């Protein structure tokens, strides 16, 4: 009985091309990649040598990590040729943290927020952070297509790193392709993103952190008392930040809000605040030129 192996041909070709990009210790690196993709949580690299997909001795793992070489730019180019099937040009931008609390001699550690691990009662750990740009889709599955990754240094500005990676990604993006949308979580600063965005042909959707304050000129100035809180039950246009909080009305975000930048707009003279926003909200007045 003959077996139809046609569906496996793209995977076979991809693996052969990836293998060629491991320029030194390629056999050990390739087995290590298979072990990482097929094994769950492990305590150390030595445990990966027990994986069925790792066909070499345990010592070769450390040889690959110390002496192995990978053409990182070529890997990104190869991954760009395999986007999600029927996927929209929607990219999630976020950072993941590798906690290294006890590795005091590890270089360039920094303190980062961690969703599940705590230190001294606070969700902050010492470790390394990796900044990702990954294509996502509306399909009900867990498949994503990673496009960019960079390890953050302690002095890096995460907003500037994100825009730099987006600019690198858009260099290979066709001009006649649909407008890409980059989605950011509340850990990013929408003002810094908008200023660094410039004339990029892309849209940015950013979640605003609960409790965030904005200021706007009031319709009537109060002679005494604290600034009046604005009602966030409906849409509100907020003039640029940096105004004096003493003479300006205050807006405090009490619920999830979204901030979206769309290219081809006039200025940053207003921000649109949308409490309980829908997944995609268009605002044509928040991108800097």
pLDDT at 207 over 50: yes
φ, ψ of residue 99 in degrees (nearest 5): -65, 130
Q: Is residue 238 part of a domain?
A: yes
Cβ 133 vs Cβ 182: under 8 Å: yes
Give 120-140 pLDDT, tens digit per residue: 778 888 899 999 999 998 888
Based on the fold, state whether residues 40 and 155 are members of the same structural domain: no
Model's pTM, two decimal places? 0.71
CA distance 37 to 261: 36
Q: Where does a domain end: 49, 73, 97?
A: 73
Q: Is residue 283 part of a domain?
A: no
CA distance 122 to 138: 34
What's the whole-number average pLDDT of the chain?
75
pLDDT at 280 over 60: no
Name the pLDDT band for 38 (thresholds 50, 70, 90): confident
Give 235-249 pLDDT, tens digit per residue: 333 333 333 333 334
Based on the fold, state whether residues 152 and 35 are members of the same structural domain: no
pLDDT at 111 over 50: yes
- Greater model confidence, 245 or 42: 42
Based on the fold, state whether residues 231 and 185 are members of the same structural domain: yes
Q: How many domains does the chain have?
A: 2
First to last CA, the chain: 64
Q: Is residue 10 part of a domain?
A: yes
pLDDT at 2 over 80: no
CA distance 158 to 188: 7
- Residue 199's domain comprises 79-275
Cβ 57 vs Cβ 96: under 8 Å: no
pLDDT at 226 over 60: yes
Based on the fold, state whether residues 157 and 67 are members of the same structural domain: no
Q: Where does a domain end: 16, 48, 73?
A: 73
Based on the fold, state whether residues 227 and 126 are members of the same structural domain: yes
Based on the fold, state whether residues 188 and 205 are members of the same structural domain: yes
pLDDT at 224 over 90: no
Based on the fold, state whether residues 42 and 152 are members of the same structural domain: no
Q: Got the DSSP string for 37-87?
A: HH----SSHHHHTTSTT--S-THHHHHHHHH-EE-HHHHHHHHHTS--TT-
Based on the fold, state whether residues 53 and 93 are members of the same structural domain: no
**Residue 228 CA, distance from chain mean position:** 36
Provide the pLDDT for residue 279: 32
Q: Is residue 142 part of a domain?
A: yes
Provide the pLDDT for residue 100: 84
Helix (H, G, I), strand (E, B), or coil: what is residue 134?
strand
Which range in 99-113, 210-224, 261-275 is most confidently predicted, on average pLDDT? 99-113
Based on the fold, state whether residues 180 and 228 are members of the same structural domain: yes
Q: Is residue 161 part of a domain?
A: yes
Based on the fold, state whether residues 176 and 233 are members of the same structural domain: yes
φ, ψ of residue 100 in degrees (nearest 5): -135, 55
Alpha-carbon distance values, 117 to 104, 127, 152, 182, 188 (Å) = 17, 12, 19, 28, 21
Based on the fold, state whether residues 61 and 156 are members of the same structural domain: no
Q: Is residue 104 part of a domain?
A: yes
Based on the fold, state whether residues 91 and 225 are members of the same structural domain: yes
Average pLDDT over residues 269-276: 40
Q: Is residue 282 part of a domain?
A: no
Q: Is residue 280 part of a domain?
A: no
| Burial of 29: CB neighbours in 10 Å, binned 0-12, 13-18, 19+ | buried
Q: Where does a domain end: 27, 52, 73?
A: 73
Helix (H, G, I), strand (E, B), or coil: what is residue 14?
helix
Provide the pLDDT for residue 272: 42
- Greater model confidence, 221 or 240: 221
């Amino acid at each position: 009985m003959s077996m139809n192996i046609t569906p496996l041909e793209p995977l076979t070709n991809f693996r052969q091309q990836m293998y060629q990009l491991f320029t030194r210790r390629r056999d050990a690196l390739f087995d290590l990649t298979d072990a990482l993709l097929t094994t769950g949580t492990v305590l150390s690299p030595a445990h990966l040598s027990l994986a069925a997909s790792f066909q070499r001795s345990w010592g070769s793992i450390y040889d690959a990590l110390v002496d192995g070489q990978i053409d990182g730019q070529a890997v990104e180019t190869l991954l760009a040729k395999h986007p999600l099937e029927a996927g929209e040009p929607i990219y999630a931008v976020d950072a993941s943290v590798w906690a290294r609390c006890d590795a005091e001699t590890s270089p360039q550690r920094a303190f980062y927020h961690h969703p599940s691990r705590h230190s001294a009662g606070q969700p902050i750990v010492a470790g390394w952070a990796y900044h990702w740009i990954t294509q996502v889709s509306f399909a009900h599955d867990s498949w994503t297509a990673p496009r960019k990754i960079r390890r953050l240094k302690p002095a890096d500005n995460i907003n500037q790193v994100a825009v730099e990676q987006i600019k690198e990604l858009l260099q290979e993006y066709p001009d006649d392709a649909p407008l890409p949308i980059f989605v950011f979580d509340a850990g990013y600063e929408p003002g810094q993103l908008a200023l660094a965005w410039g004339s990029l042909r892309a849209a940015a959707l950013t979640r605003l952190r609960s409790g965030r304050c904005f200021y706007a000129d009031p319709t009537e100035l109060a002679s005494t008392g604290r600034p009046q809180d604005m009602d966030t039950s409906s849409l509100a246009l907020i003039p640029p930040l940096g105004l004096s909080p003493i003479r300006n009305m205050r807006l405090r975000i009490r619920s999830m809000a979204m901030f979206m930048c769309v290219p081809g707009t006039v200025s940053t003279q207003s921000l649109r605040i949308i409490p309980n926003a829908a997944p995609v909200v268009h605002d044509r007045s928040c991108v800097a030129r």
